[in-house]
Amino acid sequence: MKELEFIRYISKKFKAGKPVVKGIGDDCAILDYTKTRYMLLTCDMIIEGTHFSGKATPFQIGWKAVAVNISDIAAMGGIPRYILVSAGIPRNKGAKFLKEIIKGIETISRRFNILLIGGDTNVSRETVINVTLIGEVEKKCVITRDGARRGDLIFVTGCLGEGRVKHLNFLPRLKEARILAKDFKLNSMIDLSDGLAMDLNRLTEAAKVGARVYKSLIPLSDASEPLDKAILAGEDFELLFTAPIGESKKLIKRMGRREDLPITLIGEIVDRRFGVQLIQEEGKIKPLKPKGFAHL
């Protein structure tokens, strides 16, 4: 079962109730919280062999386990607050390994002002860490993945295709997300965990729209994989977002004025019937299928 199918299957079984503003299907669940704020909840499990190799240091494992969740909170425009951590550690790894994982968790948590409030440790055959992150967001600032509209421009933060190099040490785009959420009126946002091809399709599917992305506009760096791979490669943890034309102009202006918002315009939202298209340098149109980094 592909993850998209799985989410559809499970969404049908568990309908959202009253205080559940949004259940399964976005980067975070949204609960009604205070008069002015929503609570955001997200969980991610990272597993040896799937999300990191045996060469990853325990510090990196701890760091990454929290970072991928912060990225989900960022994608909703929110602020991370509390984590619960479950760990499965092979018996032969010993206490020092676990302490180093905790140090990684502690370091990134301190940096982002997150409190660890619960945990569970177990013996397992392979190292596995699950982090559940609880955050919050001002109701007027929340950004979901399903709000894209025809005519929106599409942006990404940073450069794509760097996941392979930085996935164990990346800094989630929280600062940028908060600027975007507070100073602009975006229509939609998602974090790039499974590659542009996959995640842009998730965004357009959620809003029932199409998209046109220009190959020549996609930002790469020296650390990036070649473009054809970069759009399929997972674990960039950059933010992909859309804004109406007026806000987009404000975004582009702000981009030029200050360096704290490294974003790039890569395309536009179009009618659903066009699907998701990648426009080649010579103008040829290619469909951009939801392929890429599927976990299951």
* Residues at the interface with a second copy (CB under 8 A): 1, 3, 6-7, 9-10, 13-14, 16-17, 20, 23-24, 28-29, 31, 41-47, 49-51, 82, 84-89, 95, 98-99, 102, 106, 109, 115-126, 128, 130, 132, 134, 295-296
Residue with tokens 């205080």: 19
Helix (H, G, I), strand (E, B) or coil at 246: helix
Count Cβ atoms below 10 Å from residue 5 Cβ, excluding itself: 10
Q: Compare residues 34 and 280 and give the one whose CB is closer to a second copy.
A: 34
Q: Compare residues 139 and 272 and give the one whose CB is closer to a second copy.
A: 139
Name the minimum Å distance from CB 267 to a second copy. Answer: 28
Q: Compare residues 74 and 89 and give the one whose CB is closer to a second copy.
A: 89
Q: Compare residues 20 and 255 and give the one whose CB is closer to a second copy.
A: 20
Name the minimum Å distance from CB 245 to a second copy. Answer: 33
Q: Which helix (H) or strand (E) holds 264?
A: strand 263-270
Of the candidates 185, 187, 196, the one whose C-alpha atom is nearest the C-alpha of residue 157 is 196
d(CA 125, CA 86): 15
Name the minimum Å distance from CB 41 to a second copy. Answer: 6
What is the DSSP secondary-structure string of 94-136?
HHHHHHHHHHHHHHHHHHTT-EEEEEEEEE-SS-EEEEEEEEE
Name the minimum Å distance from CB 26 to a second copy. Answer: 9
Name the minimum Å distance from CB 184 to a second copy. Answer: 26
Q: Compare residues 1 and 285 and give the one whose CB is closer to a second copy.
A: 1
Burial class (CB in 10 A: 0-12, 13-18, 19+), 82: middle
